[in-house]
Structure 1
């Protein structure tokens, strides 16, 4: 038996049918469903018996008296026989295909102790919203890890039903649910800390029902004091576990956050008991605080401090300020924010009086985003070739999990950030650092850009106000004046950057460092990436990656995605990556969950997606210049070329100077693939001319050239560029054959 699915049942007769059906209709069938009737006073017991009578996979368990959610789960756990145990609350549902996806991921990651998957909240009015911290379940490298290696996992909701647990791991660790209303806490944290092998599945598997009248945790009562007993159990468990000491600070921080969450929701603790709850939180803070605990930055850290100091009046004042309507709050907080900004700026000016640190480098990408693009490739090469240089990355806590352990994270709102900005010698970014930062003599700024330009950039947008979106061109040029070096992947980029950003920078025609991996990756690397993404070995993977339209607020595909995927046939997989600037992707997630395509918009590495894909479909995105390095087929779908050219402006006509077949309608796009034109002789010839023009310097050693020239000061040691016909990019994994139509076409 592969899975045991435990469903505790109590007063959910309106939702129980849907819950149980969502499990029994799964395409994967090797499981048992343990429905535990916790002496429910409604019709739940009869419903459980009905399902057990009609389906042998359902085992009905009736408890003689009501015991609560935790003991009911224990009753199911005691009877479980599957290799893995999953828990599902009886008013929630499991999405189609979830068990198969969980099984596949368990096999791909070598049977980890715990597999964490994602969920979405569903509301009474039909609205669905994916977990706001979905990026935490990204299937990043390493695929299998410990909590200490990825502590951000603790930021997920502390529930049990978003995980699959290896049953012998549960047994060996003696995991069980205590009584109480916060019973998930005393299971989740000990389990994650104890697990030696954790993996993630980046897929919504459970719909978490948000009842209109709330649930037990949203009920005002004294039962919320149970949270203190549960955390006492957690720390007692950690104290008894060898090697768990390093995790105490992580769990402690989440505990205090949890206390704050309860305090900040007036519908939970009765007003007469809030002072007592605050005092209990302060006692638990002092009782369990580890010696190595460091509070978070900003308002969360201030809340922690006030709880530790038992400063309830100040805590209440802070809460009321945060609860004030946004406009009024902005007016009330504006003076304090100006003061804080002035203090940071003064600190920065004072730090600039100290000498520049020649062994300190700062990196950033995509406006304080995560570890990505060319700055990440250069940072990694700095640690390899110039280990004496300390590196720091500018990003908020939401992207902390993307950083390698050896890289310091700089919170852009912290004093430490401005200290480093004042004293570092090297600065590398693919966009820009704060405008208020001035360039000091002796410092070196490297602008990597983030792609070869087809669309107008910089001052060329002066004639395209709709695309410029109120850009301050004078401030832009002031930031450009800080650049010492501008990286270029081809002569077209060199000339364009000089015209679009007229300043005194020097062009380094060294290639685009983010593309180094496209040459360094092996066939084994490509197969491993595809396995992590869930692409079968015998499938041809097509990546669709369009650019942003300034005239569209949300992502809208330029052709019928489902129809195109259907036309590709069963031997193909369509991956879709919306532009990172689009927060909303209407319909795309639904198509993903129905298995019509793969939504890879949240995947942290576009380079990995390129390596996984056997062909690219794009429009005017700079991804085509990067992907051309792989020498794999590219189709340009230019259905709105005239509109895009008028709104944004372009440097050349991609329809006549592009890397392959050009289409403008759904029918033409499908025909290009079903006829074999997409990978035919004409497409191959066009791609060869495109690569000669735009892949001139991308040979896999761009980051090394930058480090040797800029960081080591040895430009004479920079490797020569490998000629185009002597390069060996990463091989495709699929079954692309020149001039071959799709199978079954």
Structure 2
């Protein structure tokens, strides 16, 4: 009986694919199927998969006739799944050998819709080093949450206040989670056609449907950092990543139509995701990107709760009001520099983040007119 479908979206990753496949086929949970979705790779990926199929009958190959992007590749795998649970693994990453078993056992024990891990390691392609994504936070959680550090229920939603630095925060990505297929199908949750931040779009739509969510931090995920990835390309491209604006609008409209009472709360996280891409974009035409952000904030008349998130609310206000990027820099980046220059010297990550939050909000309220 197949318990978990492992979906690998694949596109031009021949250098990394064998390590990924090895980590999956050697899982301690053997009752899995491995669905490789080849999204028109121009390299040797298809042949690599076929060689692995000869060694492991659990592996299946789906070949797209045209390149459709990461989200659609995940949809293809989901539609071909024969298990009750689905895991998405990016094909340049790899996982610990007990990764799926840990997530699956938590799901079965609690009848969960989603189980995730925050035990994530980043692998630097150029330098080769591996370090924890959350640095020393897992050690801190061991002290603060004790028995609940490694496994527990997550009550996180877009209306949750200050849970980002706890084990309950699920991280806005597709690849550190196990999903109950019935939940995704029942709620009609599929990935959209956007080519960037499709996991952001999906994540917030999932949260709007009140999933029963747990975490198991015994499962380890290894995330490869490389410049040629979709995320890495943002800092190197000169083409404005307008897809992130489409994602913002998709999420905004989904909550407006389905969860209007949580729209303002969702705007905070949605805007944070937008700014992650905006801040990483380094091209000379960034002022044009800013103008597009301004137009969207103005069109949607985006609001964020000032009492909860004064600095982010002020950032939205400035972006919505002024179409000149220099004004935004003057009003927002100057505040960040004042606070960050001092926060940098605080050794504790927890105290550093708390200092940033308090003082950014304080300066934002002072500057607000």
What's the TM-score bracket when you normalise by the shorter of the two chains? 0.7 to 0.9
Rounded Cα–Cα distance in structure 2 between residues aligned with 1:144 and 1:162: 14
1:190 aligned residue (176, 186, 205)? 205
**What CA distance in whole angstroms lies between the structure 2 residues aligned with 1:251 and 1:175?**
18
Query: Which residue of structure 1 lines up, in the alignment, with residue 246 of structure 2?
Result: 229
Q: Is the 8 A contact 1:143 1:199 kept in 2?
A: yes
Whether 1:163 and 2:173 are equivalent positions in the alignment is no
Which residue does the alignment assign to 1:304? 316
Larger Rg: 1
Name the structure 2 match of 1:282.
297
Which residue in 1 is equivalent to 2:367?
none
Closer, same or farther: CA 168–326 of 1 in aligned 2, 3 Å = closer
State the TM-score, normalizing by the size of structure 1: 0.41
The alignment status of 1:314 with 2:324, answered yes or no, reads no
Q: Which has the higher contact order (CA 8 A, sep 6+)?
A: 2
Quote the residue 2:365 is aligned against. none
Shift of 1:270: 3.5
**In structure 2, distance between residues paired with 1:14 and 1:48:** 13
Distance in 1 between residues matched to 2:272 and 2:303, nearest whole Å: 13
Look up the match of 1:105. 106
Question: What is the match of residue 116 of structure 2?
Answer: 116
Q: 1:86-97, aligned counterparts within 5 Å?
A: 86-97=87-98
Q: 1:232 to 1:301 in 2, by over 3 A?
A: closer
Contact 1:37–1:62 (CA under 8 A) maintained in structure 2: yes
Offset of 1:198 from its aligned partner? 0.9
- Structure 1 contact 224–268 (Cα < 8 Å) conserved: no
Aligned counterparts of 2:349 and 2:69: Cα–Cα separation in 1:
45
**SS of equivalent residue, structure 1 residue 143:** strand
* CA distance in 2 between partners of 1:259 and 1:284 (Å): 16
CA deviations 1:539-596 (Å, max 9, x no partner) are xxxxxxxxxxxxxxxxxxxxxxxxxxxxxxxxxxxxxxxxxxxxxxxxxxxxxxxxxx
Residue 77 of structure 2 is matched in structure 1 by 76
CA distance in 1, matches of 2:74, 2:21: 16
Distance 2:359 2:355 in 1: 10
Distance 2:238 2:187 in 1: 33
Note closer, same or farther for the CA distance 1:397–1:187 as it changes in structure 2 (3 Å cut). farther
Give me the whole-angstrom Cα distance separating, in 1, the residues matched to 2:72 and 2:245.
19
Distance 1:282 1:176, change over 3 A: same
Query: Residue 130 in 1 paired to residue 147 in 2?
Result: no
Match of 2:224 among 190, 204, 209: 209
1:240: how far off? 3.6
Cα distance in 2 between the residues matched to 1:250 and 1:56: 46
Q: For 2:254 and 2:36, how far apart are their aligned partners in 1?
A: 29
| SS at structure 1 position matched to 2:18 | helix
Q: Tell me, what secondary structure is at the counterpart of 2:275?
A: helix
Q: Output the CA distance in 2 between the equivalents of 1:267 and 1:307.
A: 18
Check whether the contact 1:145–1:196 (CA below 8 A) recurs between aligned residues.
no
Q: Give the superposition deviation at 1:92.
A: 0.6
State the TM-score, normalized to the length of structure 2.
0.79
| SS of alignment partner, residue 153 of structure 2 | coil
- Give SS of 1:4's match: strand
Aligned residues: 337
- Tell me how far 1:29 sits from its aligned partner: 0.8
Q: Which runs of 5+ in 2 are unaligned?
A: 343-347, 363-369
